[in-house]
Structures are given as C-alpha cells and as structure tokens.
Amino acid sequence: MEEPELVQRLGAYIAARMPQARDVAVTEVARITGGASRQTYRFTLVWSEAGEARRRGLILRRDPADSLIDTERRVEFEAYRAFHGGDVPVPEMLWLEEGDAALGSPFFVAEEIAGFQAGTGPLWTAPYLDSLPALGRRKWTILGQIARADPVALGLAKVLPATTADGVWRRELDHWEGVLDADETEPLPIIRAAIRWLRAHPPPPAQKVAVVHGDYRTGNFLYDTEGGIHGILDWEMCHLGDPLEDLGWSFNPVWSFGREHPGGLLPRDEAIAAWEAASGLSAPPEALKWWELFACVKGQAIWVSSAKTWLDGANRDPILVYPAWALINAQDRGALKVMGHL
Amino acid sequence: MTPAVSQVLADLAGRVARNAAPNIPVAERAGELGLSALLLALAAEMWDGAAEILVLENAELRVLLAKGAAVWRDDSRRRWLEALAGGRDESLRLSALQGANNELKVALIALHAQLEGQDDPESRRLESEVWRALAAASARRRLSGSPV
C-alpha cells in the first residue's frame, strides 16, 4: 500500500473511533526503520473537539507481508495494555485491528513517547556513556518488576497460552528447535550440540510461571541521558514462562554489543542483584546458565529464520539479511562462550 | 554466508536504483540506503576471505571425520565418514565449497553426538578436538564488528 493511501485509510479508521472529534487527519507520517518483525510509523493525529484544535503524536505498528517473528498482534497489544499505568513503563495502547480490511494487514495504534532514544546506536558515545551503569540498574530492575508481576491479576493469563512450572523449559526448547529444523539453510554443529546439552541437563522447575517479555535487551526501550527508561518496547514474543528466560536472554553474549558487561551496561553480578531485588526471586547459577544457553539457541533460530524469510522471497527487506550475516557466527560464538569452549 | 553474497548484491543493486527515483519519501530512502550500505560493508569484509575459509574448514572437517571413522563402531556410519573424509574440493566456486561444507557439517553433527555417547578415552580426545575445531572455525569467520 502506498503512503498516501495508508494515510487516508488510517485517518478514516481513527475518525470512526473518535465520534466526538471533527476534521480528523493523519499528518507528518514517517517510517521508523530497523524493525524486522513489524512496520512502524510515527505520525501526528490532528482533530478538533469541542471547538478546540488538538494534536497527538502516535505510533502505527503494522504487520509486513512476511515477518521475522511470527506472532499474534493481540499478544503484543494486550501485553502493553496490561502493564500500562504500573511500575513497568510502556506506551498507552489505543486501537487494535486484527483483520486485513482497514490497512491491508493487522495493526495497532499507540501513543508516541517522544523525546527519548531507542536502539543502541547512541549509547556508546557521549552524553550517554556516563549513565550506562544507572541505565543498567534501571533495566534489570524493570525486568525484575516484570518477573514479579502476577499474570492473572494483569489479565494476561486469559490471553497467553497456559504453561506449567516444570514443563516450560521443554515447551520453549521444542518450539525453537522446531524453528531451526524448519528454517535452517546450513547445518549448525555448535547450536545442535547446545541443544543436546540442554536436553541432557534440564533446569529446575520455574520458581513461578511469570510474564516473559521475550526480547528484553538493551535497545528495546526508550532511554534518556540520565539512565532513565521511559518505555519498554517490542513485546511481540511475550508469553508465560520461567522468569529466568528473560534474564538469560538479557545475558545473551550477542547483546553485549562487543562491550565488557552484559547488555553493554553493567557487571553481571550487579545486574543479577538488581533483578533479584526487584523480582523477589533468585537466579541460581546452573539454572541461569541453562537459560543463557537456551537464549543462544533461540537467537540462532531467529537469525536463521531471518535468512530463510529473505530467501523465500516474500519479504526482501535488507534488514532480514543483516542478522543472518552479522549474528549467526556471533551467536555460535556466544553459545561457545556460555558452554566454556571459547 | 546465507543468503549468498551474490544474491544479496543483486538485490541491493535493484534497491539502490529504485531509491534513485525522486518520489521516494526521505525517511524511507535514508533507511533503505543506510541498511544497504551496512550490508555492502559486510559483503566487502566477507568476500575476500570466503573461499579460503571454506577450503580450510572443509580440509579440517575431513580430518576430523577420518578420525571419527576410526572410533565409530557402526560399519555403515564408518563407511559414510570414510567416504566424506576421502573427498576433495574439485571447484573453488563458493556455491560448490559451501555445498561440500554443508555435507561435511551434517556428518560432523552426527559424529559429535556419537562421541558424546561413547565413554572411551579416544572418543573424549576426539570430542575435545571437535570443540577446538568449531571454536577455530568461528574465529576465522568472525567479522570485525562482531559482538562476540
């Protein structure tokens, strides 16, 4: 769909949901590049209400023809909505459309939290460098708050597939090994060895069945120059599971971005301490090692799927080539590191 | 290198040409060309050493498979490894080298799993050798901006 048509159809969609508003228009549309699983646009909604001109910055997240990560739009929407207004900062969700009629594919519209950075590009330079430890403490504190949250009280137990504390590791490993089986385009000896190790050394049952963000890493939040975090983003892989899964994913060596500390931010023991204090849970080393190695398998499955999606031809976005070229070998090295072979 | 560099370069050529048109939104053009530039830089770094990496790796894999054939007690599996170990790279085209590499790695995965289940000293030694070879191969493929 060309942009003028998108603007017109989005404006009509929103106008139908704001009966009190007049002269509703979508303006200042700009595509935010970088996301491989959703198409993201920033825009300004203008309208008049009770004789007064109004405007609000909003975000449109729409499914592309073939996404890097196959997930339900509703999962992402409901996860944001569940945490909005609580300890975990997230943008407000406004409208969810699961059909194709309005914009050609499912989408949601959310508030824009403006004035902050996302991604990792600016982090490793001034004026952000001095705030990295504070940002790290905040990052793992918020992750602990996600782990502490009660999925039933949040209403997410009705949206996300149920699981059990002792079966969650197998469900996750089966899923991502299945993705590798379906999508790998070249053999992966290191990751296959990692899978064999994981199956031979299962982790203890989860301390609780918690909300798992699914992609909690440096760069997937909005931050300022003082170490503050103003919005946790990218909830499309949210599910119920072992809270150590998110901690392990945050320690995936590829998310250190070549820097000394996990996430490029904070010494490992300090990150674990912040998470434990906020979650009220513990991170036993052997269990955490299992989930860190699992994170390497999951990461590799995503990078391999990225290559497969591009090769299949339905989506030739160059963003799909980047993880395949830049991260598959790095992820192998991450797995070697976690297993003590690097 | 999957997708193959040649495939990606062909796609990027079309993408760059399309972005030369005057009616592409500025933000979209900036995003596409920025990503294209990043991929071109990666291709430039990978391209020069790609054949050498595969030739070296295939030779190492054949040595490992030959050693594996000596400790694998199943006859059909031993013959499979011996046949692969006795092969050589007839062509230096990347696609041919990659095809051989894939075939050798399938056998390596099977051998590695077998070694993990055998408890004799020779199997333990060879398993350690497999891990060292995998680490060395990943070091050869490491790009300058690699996070690990």
Q: Does residue B16 fall inside a structural domain?
A: yes
Q: Are residues A164 and A47 in the same domain?
A: no
Q: Hey, is A87 helix, strand or coil?
A: coil
Residue A313's CATH number: 3.90.1200.10
Q: Does residue B52 fall inside a structural domain?
A: yes
Q: How far apart (Å, rounded) are the C-alpha atoms in residues A258 and A266?
A: 13
Question: pLDDT tens, B75-94?
Answer: 999 999 999 999 999 999 99
Q: Are residues A243 and A100 in the same domain?
A: no
What region does A264 belong to: left with phi over 0, alpha with psi -120 to 50, or beta?
left
Question: pLDDT tens, A241-277?
Answer: 999 999 999 999 999 999 999 999 999 999 999 999 9
Q: State CA A242 to chain mean position distance.
A: 16
Residue B101 is which amino acid? N
pLDDT at A227: 97
Tally helices (H) and strands (E) across chain A: 10, 9
Q: Which of A177, A321, A327, A328 to mutate to test the interface with B (most CBs of B within 10 A)?
A: A321
Q: Encode burial over A7-31: b for 16+ CB neighbours within 10 A, e otherwise.
A: bebbbebbbeeeeebeebebeebbb
What region does A96 belong to: left with phi over 0, alpha with psi -120 to 50, or beta?
beta
Q: How many domains does chain A have?
A: 2
Structural domain ending residue among the three candidates A81, A111, A141: A111
Residue B96, judged by CB atoms within 10 A of its CB (0-12, 13-18, 19+), counts as middle
φ/ψ of A14, rounded to 5, equals: -70, -40
Q: How far apart (Å, rounded) are the C-alpha atoms in residues A128 and A69?
A: 30
Structural domain ending residue among the three candidates A56, A76, A111: A111
Q: Does residue B124 fall inside a structural domain?
A: yes
A93 in Cβ contact with A108 (< 8 Å): yes
Asked if the Cβ–Cβ distance from A310 to B46 is below 8 Å, we say: no
Question: pLDDT tens, A272-291?
Answer: 999 999 999 999 999 999 99
State which residues form the domain around B137: 5-141
Residue A223 is which amino acid? Y
Q: Are residues A87 and A138 in the same domain?
A: no
Nearest-5° angle of CA A113, CA A321, CA A306?
80
A282 in Cβ contact with A244 (< 8 Å): no
- Residue among B96, B116, B111 at smallest CA distance from B61: B111
A285 in Cβ contact with A203 (< 8 Å): no
Q: What is the DSSP string of A241-290?
A: E-HHHHHHHHT-GGGGTTSSSGGGTS-HHHHHHHHHHHHS----HHHHHH
Q: Does residue B87 fall inside a structural domain?
A: yes
Q: Are residues A181 and A217 in the same domain?
A: yes
Q: How far apart (Å, rounded) are the C-alpha atoms in residues B37 and B26?
A: 16
Question: pLDDT tens, A91-140?
Answer: 999 999 988 899 998 999 999 999 999 999 899 999 999 999 999 999 99
pLDDT at A1: 65
Asked if the Cβ–Cβ distance from A186 to B142 is below 8 Å, we say: no
Q: Does residue A116 fall inside a structural domain?
A: no
B26 in Cβ contact with B73 (< 8 Å): no
φ/ψ of A44, rounded to 5, equals: -110, 125
| A69 confidence band (pLDDT: 50, 70, 90) | low
Q: Are residues A183 and A274 in the same domain?
A: yes
Average pLDDT over residues B93-104: 96
Q: Does residue A230 fall inside a structural domain?
A: yes
Residue B135: which of A31, A321, A336 has the nearest Cβ? A336
Q: Does residue B77 fall inside a structural domain?
A: yes
| B73 confidence band (pLDDT: 50, 70, 90) | confident
Q: How far apart (Å, rounded) are the C-alpha atoms in residues A123 and A275?
A: 21
Q: How far apart (Å, rounded) are the C-alpha atoms in residues A30 and A27?
A: 9
Q: Which residue has the tokens 């797995």?
A: A335
How many CB atoms sit inside 10 A of residue B67's CB?
Answer: 18
Q: Are residues A179 and A74 in the same domain?
A: no
pLDDT at A36: 57
| B28 confidence band (pLDDT: 50, 70, 90) | confident
Q: Does residue B26 fall inside a structural domain?
A: yes
Question: pLDDT tens, A144-183?
Answer: 999 999 999 999 999 999 999 999 999 999 999 999 999 9
Whether pLDDT at B12 is above 70: yes
Q: Which residue has the tokens 């390497």?
A: A296
A38 in Cβ contact with A236 (< 8 Å): yes
Q: Are residues A28 and A73 in the same domain?
A: yes
Question: pLDDT tens, B34-46?
Answer: 999 999 999 999 9
Q: Hey, is A68 helix, strand or coil?
A: coil
Largest Cα–Cα distance in chain B? 69
β-partners of residue A49 are: A52
Question: pLDDT tens, A26-56?
Answer: 999 988 876 555 688 999 999 999 999 999 9
Structural domain ending residue among the three candidates A111, A132, A160: A111
Asked if the Cβ–Cβ distance from B138 to A336 is below 8 Å, we say: yes
Alpha helices in chain B (DSSP H): 5-19, 26-71, 75-85, 94-117, 121-141
Asked if the Cβ–Cβ distance from A333 to B134 is below 8 Å, we say: no
B82 in Cβ contact with B107 (< 8 Å): no
Asked if the Cβ–Cβ distance from A341 to B35 is below 8 Å, we say: no
Q: Which residue has the tokens 């504390």?
A: A165
Residue B142: which of A31, A322, A333 has the nearest Cβ? A333
Q: Report chain B's mean pLDDT, rounded to a whole number.
A: 94
pLDDT at A257: 96
Residue B36: which of A34, A196, A318 has the nearest Cβ? A318
Asked if the Cβ–Cβ distance from B35 to A318 is below 8 Å, we say: yes
Whether pLDDT at A67 is above 80: no
Q: Does residue A79 fall inside a structural domain?
A: yes
Q: Hey, is A94 helix, strand or coil?
A: strand
Q: How far apart (Å, rounded) are the C-alpha atoms in residues A136 and A133?
A: 5
Q: Are residues A96 and A155 in the same domain?
A: no
The number of CA neighbours under 13 Å toward the Cβ of B124 is 3
> Which residues in chain A are closer than 8 Å to B146, comparing Cβ atoms?
258, 326, 329-330, 333
CA distances to A144, A221, B82, B147 from A270, rounded to whole Å, are 13, 20, 51, 21
State which residues form the domain around A105: 3-111
Average pLDDT over residues B12-18: 94
Q: Does residue B147 fall inside a structural domain?
A: no
Q: Are residues A234 and A316 in the same domain?
A: yes
Q: Does residue A275 fall inside a structural domain?
A: yes
Q: Does residue B104 fall inside a structural domain?
A: yes
Q: How many domains does chain B have?
A: 1
Residue A93's CATH number: 3.30.200.20
Q: Which residue has the tokens 């944001």?
A: A80
| A236 confidence band (pLDDT: 50, 70, 90) | very high
Nearest-5° angle of CA B61, CA B62, CA B67?
95
Q: How far apart (Å, rounded) are the C-alpha atoms in residues A287 and A168?
A: 13
Contacts of A214 (CB under 8 A, 6+ apart): A235, A236, A237, A238, A239, A245, A246, A249
A45 in Cβ contact with A15 (< 8 Å): no
Q: Between β-strands A39-49 and A52-62, what pairing exists: parallel, antiparallel or unpaired? A: antiparallel
pLDDT at B24: 85
Q: Report chain A's mean pLDDT, rounded to a whole number.
A: 94
pLDDT at A63: 81
